[in-house]
Amino acid sequence: MGHRHVAAALLAISLVAGCSIPIDEQAQDLVAELPDALLPAASTTTKAPTATESVQIYMARLTDGDRMLLEMVEREIAGDGSINVILDKVLAGPTAAEQESELISPFAEGSTVIGTVLVDGLLEIHLDSLDGFPQDDSAGNRLAFAMLVCTAVNLVAGAEIDRVAILLDGADGLETINVPVSDGDPPEEGAPVTCGNYVGFLADGLTDPDGPEPPSDS
């Protein structure tokens, strides 16, 4: 090392020694008192209430003549108006109060709407499984699809849905299923359906494609 470097090193050591700066063996947190104006706002656990909105869906009622008819009911949902949320209310079935008023549903637990896609009036409903649907070729099975399809076509406000395809999430991804219908010609394999394929579940005269009115109490 040159004489200049040795001299510089000795000078630095002498300066440190002269200042007597204490060196802690461990790092310490430094705490300073902040003026009130600089302190962060106090945290709070109070949350604004979640906005909700009223929507309409179909449940069903068994008539004296053993005919199952769709009946419109109101539901409160989160304010985003998601089609997924509306259709999940169909799968959930009637409330306790609605059951007391003899509204029925063929659905059991086991099916959830995992997505929807709407393009040019065609709504794709993506389900995780069909476990919640009746597992036979029965009127109850067709009623379940009628509730889902007719709710989407007739009652989802502002979406302009006129036909529905149902896709099931499987091992190879989403696959279109053949939706059972109650009226009209059976659709081609995987083809969309409309509420017109379930007029047998609608009250007489309530087949307007713009959406049937709820059945009269008379």
20 lies in a domain? no
68 lies in a domain? yes
pLDDT value for 186: 86
99 lies in a domain? yes
Rounded to whole angstroms, what are the CA distances from 187 to 91, 98, 171, 184, 207? Answer: 23, 33, 25, 9, 19
Answer yes or no: are the C-beta atoms of 123 and 164 closer than 8 Å.
Answer: yes
**What is the pLDDT confidence band of residue 51, given thresholds at 50, 70 and 90?**
confident
91-127 tens-digit pLDDT:
999 999 999 999 999 999 999 999 999 999 999 999 9
Q: What is the mean pLDDT of residues 177-190?
A: 91
208 lies in a domain? no
Q: Is the dihedral of CA 102, 107, 113, 118 positive or negative?
A: negative
pLDDT value for 140: 94
Domain that holds residue 75: 52-201
Residue 201, pLDDT > 90, answer yes
30 lies in a domain? no
Residue 69, pLDDT > 90, answer yes
Rounded to whole angstroms, what are the CA distances from 149 to 43, 97, 195? Answer: 46, 24, 6
Q: What is the mean pLDDT of residues 150-165?
A: 94
41 lies in a domain? no
Q: What's the chain's average pLDDT?
A: 79
Residue 212, pLDDT > 60, answer no
DSSP state of 165: E
Number of structural domains (the chain) is 1
**What is the pLDDT confidence band of residue 203, given thresholds at 50, 70 and 90?**
confident
64 lies in a domain? yes
pLDDT value for 182: 93
**What is the pLDDT confidence band of residue 80, given thresholds at 50, 70 and 90?**
low
